[in-house]
Amino acid sequence: MGFVGPCRNESCFKNDSGVFAKGGVVLKRKRGRVRRIVSGNKLHRLERIIPGGEGLKPDQLMLQTAHYILQLRLQLCVLQSLLRLHDT
């Protein structure tokens, strides 16, 4: 997902520091690169969804989220394998 330029609709804004926002995600320009910063509201919602996510710093929460996604994918693979075994 790349940043192509300033937003041109009402849900986006730009301030003097070069910050663009849309849908709770802040895009921040730094030395020609754009960083994505997740808003506090989205982090709070993620904290509630991810087991053990409450009280974690944002970087730790992202790592915990990645771990949880991998765990869910592994569970899905195991269940699909069991289903294949059962069908044969």
Given a cut of 50, whether residue 11 has pLDDT beyond it is no
In this prediction the pTM is: 0.56
Q: Are 35 and 27 in contact (CB under 8 A)?
A: yes
pLDDT computed for residue 40 by the predictor: 83
Read off the pLDDT of residues 14-57 as tens digits, 9 standing for 90 and up: 445 555 455 555 555 666 665 666 788 889 999 999 999 999 99
* 18, 27, 60, 74 from 46: Cα distances, Å: 26, 19, 12, 20
